[in-house]
Structure 1
Amino acid sequence: MLNKFLLTFFLICIYSLSYAQDQFSYEVICENLFTRPLWVGPLPESKDLIVVEQAGKIYKFNEAKNTKTLFYDISEKVSRKGNEEGLLGFAFHPKYKTNKTFYIYYSVKKPRKSIIAKVKISGNKKSEKTIMEIDQPWGNHNGGHLEFGPDGYLYIGVGDGGSRADPKGHGQNRGTFLGNILRINVDVKNKKYGIPKDNPFVGKSGIKGEIYAYGLRNPWRFSFDRLTGTLYCGDVGQNKLEEVDIIVKGGNYGWNDMEGTSVFKKSNSKAIKPIAEYPRKLGLSITGGVVYRGKKSSKYYGWYFYGDYVTKKIWALKYVKGKVVDRTLPYRSKWNFSSFGFDHKGNVLICSFGKHNIARLKL
């Protein structure tokens, strides 16, 4: 009995030492103002935030007045037939202050596609131009995130096309846009976009040159650490594991051979392992997050925050020189995390489909 007690005590101590014990505090900055918001971020040259709704409307949000103003509306052409379809991605061009250009990722039907479009503002008018179309066989696993990297290129997250278990094997098929992180150059003349010359598969027969990394099931939100340039990605699992990956050029993340570190179809020794994962008992649908680079005095400066949409848990981890050196216990929140973002000061914001539309973590 004593030995059993000592073993239990030892395991508890080890577990406690492996995880930071601090809990997070937060402030709700918006309640019941938006419907299914899934992107939030600062509007350049303004104190306002931009909030994107899944149904196709984009708003300017004034936090001080708690008011919203319509910024752009494509709700009439966005498909919302599937729960995972809609206006899914938004990104300002890095030179938005001068070129007044932003990019969107949305779903359409008949035929079912994902559209990546460029929108340019000129006075009171906004003109939209499609730069890429991706055929979608099913209505789920669209991915949809857009993010400009430190290199100025546009990164695009695309899911495996849906259904269940990737029946067509898109994850390991580099001849399709599905199941990948794409990387394109939008600053080319007389073309919709260009393919960066240093993309890993440029010029290789049967492989899409736009692919930056592959083997992903449904990358739901990725982000660059604004200091180090490290690319973090949350990839939604099938029925065993949710994972956080560090995306590198040419990387294979295993799906549908692997689901995280677990064999799904067959073992794949070339698959890059996630830096963090959690089982179904802790969560059912990961929402990739962001690295906090706000106050340098904060304990959580440089930590990566992410959450689970279904169980409403939030985690944070510290990744340094290729390994996770610290992490928090899961914190049960009130939010169905649809996305993470920043305000103008670099504070972490959370979008939720619930009552508390937008909240700010106090770190």
Structure 2
Amino acid sequence: MKNLSLLFLALISMAPSCNNKPKVEYPENNNGGNLELVEAYPNLRFTRPVDFQSPNDGSNRVFVVEQEGKISFFKNDETVSETTEFLDISSKVDDNHNEEGLLGLAFHPNFRENGYFYVNYTASSSETLISRFTISSSDPNKADPGSELVLLRFDQPYGNHNGGQVAFGPDGYLYISTGDGGSGGDPKGNGQNLNTLLGAILRIDVDQTSGSKNYGIPADNPFVNRSMAQPEIYAYGLRNPWRISFDKESGRLWAADVGQNAYEEVDIIEAGKNYGWSDMEGLHTYQSGENSSEYTAPVLEISQDTGDKSITGGYVYRGTSAPSLTGQYIFADYVSGRIYALSENSDGTFSNQTLMDTRLNIASFGLDQQNELYICAFDGKIYKLKE
């Protein structure tokens, strides 16, 4: 999400009313199908929904995270009219700035057995906390708010660029996206600093402990044996990778990195790679391009001249409702409201296609247990694509 609170306030004032049906264009896509954007749960409304997750426990439940610090769930049925409160930590969460709050949720791969889940939130102490919570021993439909185990905490020097996603990879490790610490232009140089947890993708083992840490460091993390580097870092040189996701088929880790004032980018994250910020913004020099040959280029760059000014990462589509999108990375832009599909060509290059212009402030995407794709918008509704 973007780096200036004034910009967000302006955007919020422009956002469509919850009572107005958004104007949506339904263009033909490249495969000849006809896509529609529909309300997934017409009877439900949320306040600033920022994450949508399934525990994949066979319960057919989906969970929605609201930025103020609440998580609720409901049966994945379009006729559902009520939600159940799962966790409320709003008293611990600082959401005074537009980019702070309860930002991410991930269920342990063995959630059905151990009841563990993990959240990413900013606290009133100006810190990001990565915490584990546990299901209540007396009610399996409730989390125990007193069960919090803080795994990781680090300072946030400014109120923006917090990253926010937590996601388990196919290797069973927990990946965490962190922004560069905020303000504008990375004034503290965190993007190129391996001695900070900011501006990076982190990777930890939640099933182990290491010394005084409540987690373990995977032995093959790329900077484990490097001096003046944090061993949790998996990749770095990122500005604000607000949403990251794994492709369930290929295992690739995708990140959409919000740009400064000229370019948005999509990256495929690989161990040990440096993605260039703040020397580079997308494919272009920002502060210094002297070491540009050492940086990993994005697979897609979008100029902000198009009206796209705050990229929202999504998922590679593996569902059945929109088969023409299978294998394509679906993402959006928070400011323009456009939804895109990025596909890989046979020569390893990528082609980007505009699917539709929704004029929604799209904050996040999510998957249910059938791998269908859902879209969280700040008009309070959850949408999905149908063909």
Task: Say which of 243, 253, 257 aligns to 1:231.
Answer: 253
Larger radius of gyration: 1
Q: Does the residue aligned with 2:85 lie in a helix, a strand or coil?
A: strand
Q: Which amino acid aligns with 1:60?
A: F
Alignment gaps of 5+ in structure 2: 1-28
Conservation of the 8 A alpha-carbon contact between 1:19 and 1:327: no
Correspondence list, 1:131-146, <5 A: 131-146=151-166
Correspondence list, 1:273-312, <5 A: 273-282=297-306, 283-295=308-320, 298-312=323-337
State the match for 1:46 in structure 2.
59
Equivalent-residue separation in structure 2 for 1:284 and 1:166 (angstroms): 17
1:94 aligns with 2:109: yes
1:197-221 Cα distance to aligned partner (Å, 9 max, x none)? 0000002111001000000000010
- How many angstroms does 1:24 deviate by? 2.8
Equivalent-residue separation in structure 1 for 2:148 and 2:356 (angstroms): 41
State the match for 1:15 in structure 2.
none
- How many angstroms does 1:41 deviate by? 2.1
Q: Does the residue aligned with 1:274 lie in a helix, a strand or coil?
A: coil
Equivalent-residue separation in structure 1 for 2:67 and 2:255 (angstroms): 20
Conservation of the 8 A alpha-carbon contact between 2:238 and 2:276: yes
1:24-83 Cα distance to aligned partner (Å, 9 max, x none)? 312202356110001112242312210000000000123332211100110111001111
The 1:313/1:130 distance shift into structure 2, 3 A limit, reads same
- How many angstroms does 1:329 deviate by? 2.7
- Higher relative contact order (CA closer than 8 Å, sequence separation 6+): 2
- How many angstroms does 1:297 deviate by? 8.6
Deviates more, 1:190-199 or 1:96-105: 190-199
Q: CA RMSD in A?
A: 1.9
Q: Does the residue aligned with 2:242 lie in a helix, a strand or coil?
A: strand
Equivalent-residue separation in structure 1 for 2:333 and 2:209 (angstroms): 41
Task: Say which of 252, 271, 275 aligns to 1:249.
Answer: 271
Q: Does the residue aligned with 1:171 lie in a helix, a strand or coil?
A: helix
Correspondence list, 1:1-363, <5 A: 24-31=35-42, 33-43=45-55, 44-62=57-75, 63=77, 64-109=79-124, 111-123=125-137, 124=139, 126=144, 127-189=147-209, 191-267=213-289, 268-282=292-306, 283-295=308-320, 298-319=323-344, 323-329=348-354, 331-355=356-380, 357-363=381-387
TM-score, normalising length from structure 2? 0.85
Q: Does the residue aligned with 1:97 lie in a helix, a strand or coil?
A: helix
Q: Which amino acid aligns with 2:335?
A: V
Equivalent-residue separation in structure 1 for 2:135 and 2:368 (angstroms): 22
Equivalent-residue separation in structure 2 for 1:51 and 1:298 (angstroms): 25
Q: Which amino acid aligns with 1:278?
A: I
Aligned length: 344
Q: Does the residue aligned with 2:234 lie in a helix, a strand or coil?
A: strand
TM-score, normalising length from structure 1? 0.90
The 1:218/1:321 distance shift into structure 2, 3 A limit, reads farther
Deviates more, 1:29-38 or 1:148-157: 29-38
Equivalent-residue separation in structure 1 for 2:161 and 2:350 (angstroms): 31
Conservation of the 8 A alpha-carbon contact between 1:23 and 1:331: no
Q: Which amino acid aligns with 2:59?
A: S
Alignment gaps of 5+ in structure 1: 1-17
Q: Which amino acid aligns with 1:292?
A: Y
Equivalent-residue separation in structure 2 for 1:320 and 1:184 (angstroms): 33
- How many angstroms does 1:23 deviate by? 5.7
